[in-house]
């Protein structure tokens, strides 16, 4: 067995999973890149002690909704050690969650900033920052046991998944199928606003998969994804997962 397979399977809860994940060095290209980013740094972050390790999922252990992105940014999550923290993509996502009452504050700056998520957990198919934000298929597959175990540990409560981007959508489908959820054939295509109801083949709960454009700067700066579009998908997914919204969608 590989390190991810062995250590993920042995994790008895999400805290143990995160601890095991942060020691992973299974993908040489990603290890080299994340550590190089920590050495070179950006001028704006010259005084930061970069995390430079795999970044675990973030959010409550009884989350009803799981947000699946792509991978940490070299100077975002790879710097701060928390998913969607320290970059513009994280700000856009957390602003939307806060507007819906799903986050305690509108900004995600560093691990000790007091941010708490309500009913929502953030994770990624690849837990190390990749060059050019593009993991290889092999790196995605090597990292898959971490996502599979995270979903397994969340199974008692999770009722919805929002895939932020096509990469997350395509990465989570085989994980869901392996965990017993019935994925239609042919596989449903990603799209913003896509919604697929997935029954469980055993005694597990139904789960709904939602598609949303990724909160990357490329999408948000060009208007491909607007704050209203993001809030609409997140709000609908949260309500369907049984999370009451604290504020009205605008």
Secondary structure of the chain in the HEC alphabet?
A: CCHHHHHHHHCCCHHHHHHHHCCCCCCHHHHHHHHHHHHHCCHHHCCCCCCCCCCCCECCCCCCEEEECCCCCCCCHHHHCCCCCCCHHHHHHHHHHHHCCCECCCCCCCCCCCCCECCEEEECCCCCCCHHHCCCHHHHHHHHHHHHHHHHHHCCCCCEEEEECHHHHHHHHHHHHHCCECCCCCCCCCCCCCEEEECECCCCCCEEEEEECCCCHHHHHHCCCCHHHHHHHHHHHHHHCCCCCCCCCC
pLDDT of residue 1: 76
* 18 pLDDT more than 50: yes
C-beta of residue 161 within 8 angstroms of C-beta of residue 208: yes
CA distance 112 to 166: 31
The CATH architecture to which 3-240 belongs is 3-Layer(aba) Sandwich (3.40)
Mean pLDDT of the chain: 96
Q: What are 68-80's pLDDT values in tens digits?
A: 999 999 999 999 9
pLDDT of residue 250: 43
Every domain of the chain and the residues it spans: 3-240
CA distance 20 to 56: 9
- Alpha carbon dihedral 81, 159, 106, 70, in 10-degree steps, equals 40
Could you tell me the pTM of the whole model?
0.95
pLDDT of residue 247: 61
Q: What are 191-240's pLDDT values in tens digits?
A: 999 999 999 988 889 999 999 999 999 999 999 999 999 999 999 999 99
CA distance 136 to 32: 14
């Amino acid at each position: 067995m590989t390190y991810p397979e062995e250590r993920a399977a042995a994790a008895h809860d999400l805290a143990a999973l995160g601890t095991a994940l942060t020691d992973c060095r299974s993908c040489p290209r990603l290890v080299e890149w994340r550590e190089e980013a920590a050495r070179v740094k950006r001028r704006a972050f010259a005084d930061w002690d970069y995390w430079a390790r795999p970044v675990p999922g973030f959010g409550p252990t009884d989350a009803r909704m799981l947000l699946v992105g792509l991978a940490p940014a070299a100077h975002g999550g790879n710097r701060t050690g928390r998913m969607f923290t320290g970059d513009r993509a994280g700000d856009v996502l957390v602003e939307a969650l806060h507007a819906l009452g799903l986050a305690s504050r509108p900004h995600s700056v560093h691990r000790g900033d007091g941010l708490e998520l309500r009913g929502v957990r953030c994770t990624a198919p690849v837990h190390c920052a990749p060059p050019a934000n593009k993991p290889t298929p092999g790196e995605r597959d090597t990292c898959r046991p971490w996502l599979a175990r995270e979903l397994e540990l969340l199974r008692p409560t999770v009722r919805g998944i929002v895939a932020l981007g096509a990469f997350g959508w395509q990465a989570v489908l085989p994980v869901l199928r392996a965990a017993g959820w019935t994925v239609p054939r042919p596989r449903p295509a990603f799209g913003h606003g896509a919604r697929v109801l997935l029954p469980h083949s055993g005694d597990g709960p139904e789960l709904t998969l939602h598609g949303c454009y990724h909160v990357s700067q490329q999408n948000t700066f060009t208007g491909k994804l607007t704050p209203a579009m993001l809030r609409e998908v997140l709000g609908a997914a949260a309500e369907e997962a049984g999370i009451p919204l604290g504020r009205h969608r605008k």
